[in-house]
Each structure stands twice: as structure tokens, then as C-alpha cells.
């Protein structure tokens, strides 16, 4: 039960996380990802944020605390961030909103995201790793709920729910490896494109290029 | 041009990579990913492979050489491995074969894969990082060629080719984060499922549950 109560506190703290704290986490994340934990000092972080060391120490008592937050925090904050951005409406549109909101979070806190994801395989702190998995599961279960809703509503076919969730999350989670902020498409636009591809499929209908009025066509789903 | 010739040599070497070398890379990869580069000795690697240190030194002159190979090698070998497994036939089936072969490679050399992917953001060697990107691009361009073929053949709709490639690769590249070898589905089976979802889409047709003979239906692709 320790874990549960830790998580509750986590939620309370994080709901209050100020822009300043998020900025610190993002800058520290960028430094940890590129220079490593050992190679990054509190001074480096303060400098990168353009704040004094004492202001930095006002928010975090040491580097470990920042790292712990960067390395597990993002999943939890992500959950709250995304949950608050899901509109009422058809479940498929909730899935789309889930993807777009996750992408927005990624754009805003990209370096914290990268540091957190990089810590996955080599965080020596097992407890922290376990907590990361718990938070990841919560986020993933939330998505699975939306997928199940869409199946129940007849909007998507009877696919394997966990596997569908993994496909959707993969498309978003891998973005940090190729996304270039200097290119034109925003992460949100990319999420929209992925949603379209996954929801509608790549496959061309038997029809494709037809003028305005579409004549009746044979059904397509059973042909595989 | 140095880079090109290095790559050519790389191809030649890797085509000859013996099972022993691949075993060493896999075991070393597992150790690097979990204990870090510093925490892993040549002795640890030899022990993990069940071979003598002198046999290990027969294949690799030092730990740096193994790490260099683990950290960039897998992308290159992957390209050769996958290319050789693409059958003749409809382009969409080539894409499916691409996905299944990548998944097979992942299953066989999972720890080398993980170590290599983990090195992406924190490999201090810039030249090696650059080489990794070049190899990644080659692998990705190969997939893009298959996607373009499928579009030209009318099998898939006129999607954004690079973006489609990224979606497909994301589904495979993220697998190391959740795949559990003790669960029943193999990576190859998972790749088949993802191919089906991406190719056919999640969306339920307007038809769905109809008896054997399917009556004509209105086209679906334009309705978004």
C-alpha cells in the first residue's frame, strides 16, 4: 500500500506543478539525456533555466530529486495532462484526442520525455523502475478503456485491445527518435496523421478515384 | 567518402558474422544495457557466453570494439537480414515480410537490439552516432521503397510515404519496451497483427456481420 499512497501524493503534487518546475524538469532532462547524470551539475541546470541556484534549490533539494522526477514523473503528469483533454463524443474521437494530447505533451516537455524514456533500461533504482511501470500501466489502461468503448460502440472492429493500445502508443512513443522540431509538421499534426492511418488503414478501397457520386461497391472487410 | 568505404567493409564483415560473434554481441548487449559499459568486463562477457577469455579475444580485441559493434552494428545487420527475407509477390506482402523479418531479428538478438537502441541518445561518440543514423536511413529507405511500390500497384492509398514508414517502424521499434518472451505471442506473430491493423485499419466497415453472400455496399474511404 506504500506504493498506492506514494502515487496519490504524486498526483497531488503534480497537479500543482508550476511552469517553473516543468521548465526545470525539461532543461534537466535535456542535460541528463545528453551529458548523463554524473556530467550534469545543479549549476548547469540553473544556468540552462536562466535562474539562480538558490531559486533552483527552492524547488528541489538536490540533483537526485530532480532526476527521480524526470525519470518517473513524466508518465504520471502525462496521464493527468491527457485525461483532462479528452472531450465527450464518439469513442474514436476520444482516441484521436488521446493521441493528439500525448503529442502535445511530448512537444512541450520533449527533453524530459527523452530523459525519462532513456532511463528505462538503465535506471539502477529498481523501486523507481517499478513505479515507472505502474504509471505506464495506468496510462495504458486508460487508452485501453477508450478502445474498448469504441469497439462496444461498433466504431472499430473486434481487435485485440491490448495489442491495439500498444500499436497506438508505439506510434507516439517512438516519435522522440525521429521528430525534428525544425521541420514543419507539429507532433499534434503527426498524431492526427497516425490516427488516420491506424483507424482507416493504409489499404486502398476497391474504389479509390471516382467522381463525386460513388456507386455501390462490394464490401471489403472480409476479403483477407 | 571515408564513410562509404567504411560502410562497405561493414557489409562485408557482417555478412560473414558467425553465430559465435552474434552470440557475443547479444550477451554483451544484455550486459551493457543492464550494467552499463563501465560495469561490464571482458571476463563478464566471456562468462555469459560460456567461452574462454582467449576465445573472446580471438573475435574482439577489446571491449570498445564490442561496444562499437553492439551500438551501431545491429542496424546494419538488420538491413541485410531483412532484405534477404523479402519474397517476390505483391508489394503489400513484401511489407508484411519486412515487418515479420524485423521482428524475427528482434527476437533473435533482443539484447543487442536493446543495447543499441539505448545507446541512441547517450553515445558520446558523435561519429558512431552519425553512422548509426546513416544505417537507420538505409533501412528506412528500403521500407519506403516497398511502400511506394504498394501505392504504385494500387494496393495502398496515396499516403505520405515517410510517415507511413515511421508508423510501421514505430510499431516494431517500440516492441523492446513491452515484449515479454514468457508470454505466448512471438515477435513475428505480433508483427503480423500490427501489419493487419495498419493495413486494414481498425475501423469497422459499414457492413461487418453479414451472412456468406455480401450485398453491394457504399464505398467507405471518402466518408471522413
Residue-wise pLDDT tens digits, B20-64: 887 888 888 888 877 777 788 999 999 999 999 999 999 999 988
Report whether pLDDT(A217) > 50. no
Task: Please state, rounded to an integer, the average pLDDT across all residues of chain A.
Answer: 81
Contacts of B218 in chain A (CB under 8 A): 214, 216-217
> In chain A, positions 103-162, which contact chain B (CB-CB < 8 Å)?
114, 118, 120-122, 150, 154-157, 159-160
Chain A contact for B205, CB < 8 A?
yes
Q: Within 10 A of A143 (CB to CB), how many other CB atoms are there?
A: 23
- Name B122's Cβ contacts closer than 8 Å, sequence gap at least 6: A33, A34, A36, A118
What's the rounded Cα separation, in Å, for the pair A194 and A167? 10
Whether the Cβ atoms of residue B112 and residue B173 lie closer than 8 Å to each other: no
Interchain contact, A202 vs B160, CB within 8 Å: no
Mean pLDDT of A134-162: 95
Helix axis angle for A63-83 and A19-35, nearest 10°, is 120
- The highest-confidence range among A29-43, A117-131, A183-197, by mean pLDDT, is A183-197
What's the rounded Cα separation, in Å, for the pair B76 and B132? 8
Report whether pLDDT(B107) > 60. yes
Tell me the three state secondary structure of residue B205: coil
- The yes or no reply on domain A72-200 and CATH 3.90.850.10 is no
Which position has the higher pLDDT, B121 or A84? A84
What's the rounded Cα separation, in Å, for the pair A52 and B11? 51
CA distances from B146 to B80, B139, B172, B215 (A): 15, 11, 16, 33
| pLDDT bracket for residue B221 (50, 70, 90) | very low
Shortest CA distance to B179 belongs to which of B132, B116, B85, B111? B111
Q: What percent of chain B has pLDDT over 70?
A: 79
What sign has the CA pseudo-torsion B172, B173, B174, B180? positive
Q: Smallest CA–CA separation between A84 and chain B, in Å?
A: 25
CA angle in degrees (0–180, nearest 5) for A50-A54-A59: 85
Q: How far is CA B159 from the centre of its chain?
A: 22
State the DSSP H helix or E strand holding residue B135, giving kind and residue range, or none if neither: helix B126-152
Q: What are the backbone angles phi and psi of residue A12, rounded to the nearest 5°?
A: -60, -50
Interchain contact, B219 vs A207, CB within 8 Å: yes
State the DSSP H helix or E strand holding residue B128, giving kind and residue range, or none if neither: helix B126-152
Q: Which of B165, B219, B223 to mutate to test the interface with A (most CBs of A within 10 A)?
A: B219
Q: What percent of chain A has pLDDT over 70?
A: 79
Cell of B209: 456481420
Tell me the three state secondary structure of residue A203: strand
- For domain B2-201, the CATH class is mainly alpha
Q: Smallest CA–CA separation between A131 and chain B, in Å?
A: 15
Mean pLDDT of A66-89: 82
| pLDDT bracket for residue B172 (50, 70, 90) | very high
Amino acid at each position: 500500500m506504500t506504493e498506492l499512497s506514494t502515487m496519490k501524493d504524486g498526483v497531488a503534487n503534480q497537479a500543482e506543478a508550476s511552469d517553473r518546475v516543468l521548465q526545470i524538469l525539461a532543461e534537466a532532462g535535456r542535460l541528463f539525456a545528453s551529458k548523463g547524470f554524473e556530467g550534469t551539475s545543479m549549476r548547469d541546470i540553473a544556468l540552462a533555466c536562466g535562474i539562480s541556484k538558490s531559486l533552483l534549490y527552492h524547488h528541489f533539494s538536490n540533483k537526485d530529486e530532480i532526476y527521480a522526477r524526470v525519470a518517473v514523473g513524466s508518465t504520471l503528469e502525462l496521464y493527468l495532462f491527457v485525461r483532462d483533454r479528452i472531450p465527450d463524443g464518439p469513442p474514436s474521437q476520444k482516441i484521436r484526442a488521446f493521441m493528439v494530447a500525448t503529442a502535445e505533451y511530448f512537444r512541450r516537455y520533449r527533453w524530459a520525455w527523452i530523459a525519462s524514456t532513456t532511463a528505462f533500461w538503465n535506471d539502477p533504482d529498481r523501486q523507481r523502475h517499478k513505479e515507472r511501470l505502474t504509471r505506464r500501466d495506468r496510462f495504458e489502461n486508460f487508452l485501453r478503456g477508450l478502445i474498448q468503448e469504441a469497439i462496444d460502440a461498433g466504431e472499430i472492429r473486434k481487435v485485440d485491445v491490448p495489442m491495439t493500445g500498444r500499436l497506438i502508443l508505439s506510434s507516439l512513443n517512438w516519435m522522440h527518435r525521429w521528430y525534428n522540431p525544425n521541420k514543419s509538421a507539429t507532433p499534434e499534426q503527426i498524431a492526427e496523421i497516425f490516427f488516420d492511418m491506424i483507424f482507416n488503414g493504409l489499404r486502398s478501397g476497391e474504389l479509390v478515384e471516382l467522381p463525386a457520386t460513388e456507386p455501390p461497391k462490394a464490401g471489403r472487410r472480409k476479403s483477407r
